[in-house]
Amino acid sequence: MHCNVRRREFLTISAASLGGLLSYSLDGKICRFAAEHKPIRIPLRFFSKTEALIVSAAVSRIFPSDDSGPGAREAGVAIYIDRQLAGPYGRDRYRYTQPPFENAPPEFGYQGQATPREIYRDGLKSLTGFHLLPPERQDTALHQIASTHFFALLRRHTIEGMFADPIHGGNAGMIGWQLIGFPGPRMNNSDDIDKHYGEGFRPKPAGLAEVTGSTIRPSEDE
């Protein structure tokens, strides 16, 4: 079953936020932002344009762009979430979804009936107009929903969108990996694993498609 509504909606973002943004430095610090800002349009698979703007604004308060470097907006986290929700994860393809659904203590995991798609659709209603608010009021709005399952998902997906391989639509330009000093799927560390004791060893990050030279089709593309 595919996402049944194929909207012709797009999220317009700055090209500078989709790679080519950062140059790499050994100490993991961000040393140069690209100068060009060219708008590009990314087709949305699940969100409406307004929903995408709200999600983009919300995740950039969770993982903000600040003096420690760029954040979730620049990494394209909203694009990542859009694709996940449109794909098998979003419709609970791999979850056990037989009834009855009962309220259970947290140590039994999420027992609800709502799929991630439904949780977002419903949760986003509580953030109407969010993208138009100033940052302080955005933070207040997020604090108000911080204990909800929707916010827990949004926060978890922000982490995923920051640090998953770029084939999934987030971590653009490997921003997330550069920020934390993770090189991605590196085939061989044999000569380095027992060296560099006490010093950061920071090979230049490369994504899976680059490392393998293959076209990788992520599962959300079905």
Partner 1 sequence: MKALPHVDVVIVGAGWTGLLTAKELGSRTSLSIVVLERGAAHSPTEYANGMDELEHSIHFRMMQDLSLETVTIRHSTNDRAYPVRQHGSFLPGTGVGGAGEHWSAVFPRFLPDAFELYSRTVEKYGAARLPEDHALRDWGVTYDALEPYYMRAENLLGISGKAGNIRGEKIAGGNIFEGWRSAEYPTPPTKVPYFSELFRQAVNSLGHHPYPVPAATTSTLYTNPDGITRPGCTYCGFCETFGCMIGAKSQPTNTLLPIINKRKNVSIRTGATVLRIVHDSSLNRGKSRGVTYVDSNGQEFFQPAELIFLASWTLNNTRLLLLSKIGEAYDPITGRGTVGRNLTHQVMLTAATAFFEKPLNRFMGSGATGIMFNDFDGDVFDHTNLPFLRGGAFRGVSARSLPIGECDVLPKSVKAMWGSEWKKAVLHYYDRTGRITFIGDHLAYKSNYLDLDPTYKDHWGDPLLRLTIDWRDNERKMAEFATQKAVEIAHAMGAKEINPGVPLTHYDASRYQSSHVQGGAIMGTSPDQSVVNPYLQHWQTPNLFILGASSFPQNAAANPTPTILAQALRTADAIVDRYLKNPTALV
Q: By the criterion CB under 8 A, which residues form the site for partner 1?
A: 61-64, 66, 68-69, 71, 89, 92-98, 100, 102, 104, 106-111, 139, 142, 146, 155, 158-160, 163-165, 167-168, 176-177, 179-183, 185-190, 192-194, 196-201, 208, 211-212, 214, 216, 218-219
Minimum CB–partner distance for residue 36 and partner 1 (Å): 26
Q: Which residue's CB is nearer to partner 1, number 111 or number 144?
A: 111
Question: Which residue in the block uniquely carries the two structure tokens 């929700």?
Answer: 85
Minimal distance in Å, beta carbon 174 to partner 1? 11
State the nearest-atom distance from the C-beta of 22 to partner 1, in Å.
Answer: 14
Q: Which is nearer to partner 1, 4 or 214 (CB)?
A: 214
- Min dist CB 55 to partner 1, Å, is 14
- Nearest in space to 46 (alpha carbons), one of 78, 85, 10: 85
Cβ neighbours, 10 Å, residue 187: 8
45/168 with CB nearer partner 1? 168
Is 8 or 195 the residue whose CB approaches partner 1 more closely? Answer: 195
User: Shortest distance, CB of residue 31 to partner 1, whole angstroms?
Assistant: 15
Burial 103-126 (b: 16+ CB within 10 A, else e): eeeeeeeeeeebbbbebbbebbee
Select 12 or 113, whichever has its Cβ closest to partner 1. 113
Give me the residues paired with residue 12 across strands.
41
Torsion angle defined by CA atoms of residues 51, 53, 54 and 56, in that order, rounded to the nearest 10 degrees: 120
6 vs 68: CA distance, rounded Å: 38
Residues 192, 196: Cα–Cα separation, whole Å = 7
